[in-house]
Chain A
Amino acid sequence: MSEVSAVLAPGTGWLLLAIFGLAWIALGVFWGRKAKDFEGFMLAGRNVGLALGAATAMATWVTSNTVMLAPKFALQMGVWGMLAYSTASFGLFLFAPMARRIRRLMPRGFTSGDFIRLRFGRPAWAVFLLISFVYSMAWLVSMGMAGGIVLEALSGIDYRFGMSVILLVCVVYTLFGGLYAVIGTDFIQSLIILAGIVAVGAVVLSRIDLAAIHGNLAAEQPMLLSVLMPVALLSLFNNMFFGFGEVFHNNVWWSRAFAMKEAVAHKAFGLAGLLWFPIPIAAGFIGLCAGPLGINVPDPDMVGPLVAGQVLGGAGAIVMFVVVFCSLASSIDSLLAATADLLTEDVYRKWLAPASDPARLRRVSSWLIVGLGALTWALCMPRLGDLIQVLFLSGPLVASAIWPVVGGLFWRKASGPAALAAMLAGSAAGLTAYFTLGWFTASLISAAVSAAVMALGTVMSKARFDWSALDESAAAGGGSR
């Protein structure tokens, strides 16, 4: 067990949870009133501006993993480990031009599934939905578990209570507020996250100077400074492709593209990438400080709070607590909303009950938000450590979806069979690599194999896709171009 156990009293922890939990729920109810109809609930009126758009993309991509794993990566893999983590921001950069294309092709689009179904047909759509659901649940469960674990380590609040409260708060304000609440709270959370990381980093730097850190590393752990640290080098590209796969396929990002003003979408994603890039480095370097500060690390997952707690005492623990809460909530709310939307639109409306009216869809979506929350809670309760591995295993799955999305958006000749084959081959190759070569190769191999299959399939295809088929509003109105 870690030495940092309960730097905060449980009472303080509960107080913080109560303050933020109630505030977020209140905001959820307040902002939820802006949604006049189901489309408003799902897509915040398709009118979100640059400030809120950039903030929501950045905050959603900052998870507790960013804050907690970045120091661990730095500690285990050195400077390259931190940089490898930062490459995940490239997904946001590259999604920016894609977001613009998505808006142009699908002015009344709702989900990523809509695109794949219209573009590639049902078989590819089914595989895509499966990949998306597995990844979304893996992400949700890893967030729920992380919440319980960190809250317990920082304040002694029992894992089951901490995890349950965080999930409950997120379900409630997402249920009442929809995407308006998600985006609004994301803005506040992004400011808190940035402020917290800068505060902790600045104080740690004031207690120890970089020359000492560097000297200590050079003497005791020279491999951490080495450019040739093998695993770190490989994880650089692996993390990058994992990130691409996560952002390109998931409805969390597509729903934001649909929610923003058309002129804003690509700028918001680009800006979000810039805002996110330094965060793993700013949060991660405190992992490198453990040695020079003479702090023993009995549990690498806790190195961040350990250092913050030692250097800043109770104040540091409070800051970490709040930053972790915000990074968790900003991701869980987005996942709940976007996954419920995907299931409502793609599975319920487009497949099971096409004639549903918006009121019914709103109810279905609400039940799904609650249901997803409950399923997540059930999977988190037993606290199986291996469940977090499922998130890493989803890397090769989502990386295989990169090319169907990119090819589908830009290559007229990209066909359904090519997309299907690319996803299946990439996933298979990536999963094999995971177990034979190591986790730090799986997403890379998946992306490479999927690229080859997609490219080959496209070159061999005779298809010539009509882009206007993606515009469902045109189809309803009688085929205007």
Chain B
Amino acid sequence: MISKFVVALAAWWALAASAAAAPTLPAPRMTTPPAGGVAEAPEGHLLAAWEPVDASTDGAGGPVRYQLEIGRDPGFERARIVVAGADSATLLSGLRGGDTWLRVRALRGGAAGSWSEPGTVRVDYPDLGLVRNLFALGAATGVFLLAAIVVGVRRTAARRESSR
């Protein structure tokens, strides 16, 4: 009985020791977009951010780096990876309309930690009809301004001439 207990204790000790020697990196926690939540990006760009992982060990394995995965579907089957280096934020721009999913994980040496809980970015571009109307309004006002100045310059110059 006692020898089984000692063997179990020794096995547990060995397991604990090996775990301490090669710690797995925890998953970071996304803040923008919030883990499990949605962030709006009405202009198609977002500064994705996450909490840095607590990598307090003796620094074995080198600095912690982060990988962000951007997925077109929540299962990340169609996805691409963006490397953020040691920063805990990165700017994403030119995002497609609709929903995009993000998740991040930490890397050290060759080992990767587990993926964070994903967050969603929602890009709702202004309705193209509104864009078209405002663009037309801008063009019209611009033309009116240009005309006012050009015609105004001509007419006031002519008046100067005729009043001589």
Contacts and interface: CB of A to CB of B under 8 A. Distances in A.
Direct contact of A and B (CB under 8 A): yes
A435 B137 CA distance: 19
Given A296-B90, A298-B91, A234 B153 contact: no
A406 B148 contact: yes
A237 B149 contact: no
Contacts of A231: 42-44, 125-126
A273 to B, nearest CB: 14
A244 B43 contact: no
Contacts of B138: 234, 236-238, 240-241, 444, 448
A467 to B, nearest CB: 8
A223 B94 contact: yes
A134 B84 CA distance: 40
Interface stretch (B14-22, B104-112, B128-136): B128-136
A97 B146 CA distance: 11
B85 interface: yes
Contact of A76 (B88, B93, B126, B149): B93
Interface string A280-302: 00000000000000101111100
B137 A94 contact: no
B61 interface: no
Contact of B141 (A75, A410, A448): A448
Contacts of B131: 230, 233-234
A3 B148 contact: no
B85 to A, nearest CB: 5
Nearest to A440: B43
Contacts of A217: 94
A298 B89 contact: yes
Interface residues of B, number: 44
A410 B142 contact: no
Interface string B137-164: 1111110111011111101100010000
Interface string A424-468: 000000000000011011001101100100000000000000000
Interface string B65-106: 000000000000000100111111111011110000000000
B152 A406 contact: yes
A357 interface: no
A96 B94 CA distance: 37
A77 interface: yes
A298 B52 CA distance: 13
27 contacts: A75-B93, A76-B91, A77-B43, A77-B44, A94-B146, A97-B149, A220-B94, A231-B44, A234-B131, A234-B134, A234-B135, A236-B138, A237-B134, A237-B138, A237-B141, A237-B142, A241-B142, A244-B145, A296-B87, A297-B91, A298-B87, A299-B47, A410-B155, A411-B152, A440-B43, A444-B138, A451-B141
